[in-house]
Amino acid sequence: MKMAGLTPEGSGDVLMPQAAREYRVAGDLRRLFGRYGYEEVRTPGIEYYDVFTDKKRYFAQENMVKSIDRHGRLTVVRPDATVPIARLVASKLSGKALPLRLFYDEMIFRNSSTLQGFSNEMHQCGVELLGSRAYKADAEMIALSCAALKATGLTSYRLELSHVGVVEALIRALEVDEDLADQIRTSLEEKNFSRLKDLLAPYGEGPVVDAFLALPGLFGDYAILEKARAVLVPASPEVEPILDELARRYDLAQSLCREDHIMLDLSLANQADYYTGLVFRGYVGGSGEAVLSGGRYDSLLETFNYPIPAIGFGVRVDLIARVLNRRRRPEIAPFYLLYAAADDLPAALSWRADRSDRLVLAMSETTEDLKEEAARLGAQGIVAFEDGDIHWWEV
């Protein structure tokens, strides 16, 4: 089968309504981040494989799109925005005053083992606050997350909070190897709780297995923290101070955002293995996937020999645009067709260059064809440029 007219599995062309909506959503987010004092950076679309695996494997190798450069070195197409920004900050911005506030608007690419309708290509716009472990830094990130979800124009949204320490404490208590630990994290990440049950089956019954199996039900408001203490702390006493910290962040989030927009989900895990504390996800009505994901990653920059704390999040622009387009197709901005005969064309295009109107050059050679072209393209009207005279009329 010839593949010249196809796109690879998990990828696809972005047509006009989706592309236009993504541009608008990204623009709204970029303006929002700028108002909060964040400055834009860009990282290359291709990074060395070692950036993601040198001292710690932050992504499973099978989830990265790999290639070989002309020197035989292994490279990957950017699978994440945060790790390259950590590399950038450590190598090029380590002399800058802290905290640093950076934002990005980039494509990221990951292989999916099952796809299940998901894309390998993701348009992400996000922020990173680097150099502060302060309570205020967490407050700013939570407030900005809610502001980002509101900026999309979707009023039905929620922000779910958790702490990676809950799952990591239970993994340590279970005393499993890293391979099984990764499978447990992946099952939680994918909300595949039947697979989680299968993975834990060889360990029989006990407080740790009971705690893992209870995680899917530990979702809701403040009340679930007491239930969590009863189930999780007997499995691992390490969890108790983590739940105390999470309770404080939950109270903070409720004071920063509307209460009905904030939830707790103690089963949250993340495909990116660099988070160290608070993690959060944002959801909007109409999307089954999280449209916002982030958290605190206080150890990541240490792997690049610049040990500073950080927190950030990314917004899936493509998912939000898809939801908005399903609700209301974007309207085509009104435009006029600009008609000029061959002799008048240079003058007409020079005149056009100084205008702010939306003027589209007509391809018709005769005035008889012009009205048909205007109707076919949906033009609001016609501007005819003849011997220096300009005539406007509505279709």
Stronger pLDDT, 127 or 111, i.e. the higher one: 127
Kind and range of the H or E run holding 64 = none
pLDDT-derived band at 241, boundaries 50, 70, 90: very high
Sign, CA dihedral 176-181-183-184, equals positive
- Would you say residue 272 has pLDDT above 60? yes
Strands 262-265 and 157-163: parallel
Please, what's the b/e burial string for 142-166 (b: 16 or more CB within 10 A of its CB; e: otherwise)?
A: bbbbbbbbbbbebeebbbbbbbbbb
pLDDT on residue 1? 62
Stretch 366-370: mean pLDDT: 84
Mean confidence (pLDDT) of the chain: 90
Stretch 194-214: mean pLDDT: 92
Please, what's the b/e burial string for 25-57 (b: 16 or more CB within 10 A of its CB; e: otherwise)?
A: bbebbbebbeeeebeebebeeebebebbbeeee
Stretch 237-258: mean pLDDT: 94
pLDDT-derived band at 93, boundaries 50, 70, 90: very high
- Would you say residue 266 has pLDDT above 80? yes
3-state secondary structure of 156: coil
pLDDT digits (tens, 9 = 90+) for 159-203: 999 999 999 999 999 999 888 988 898 888 778 889 999 999 998
pLDDT on residue 78? 93
pLDDT-derived band at 270, boundaries 50, 70, 90: low
pLDDT-derived band at 87, boundaries 50, 70, 90: very high
pTM: 0.89
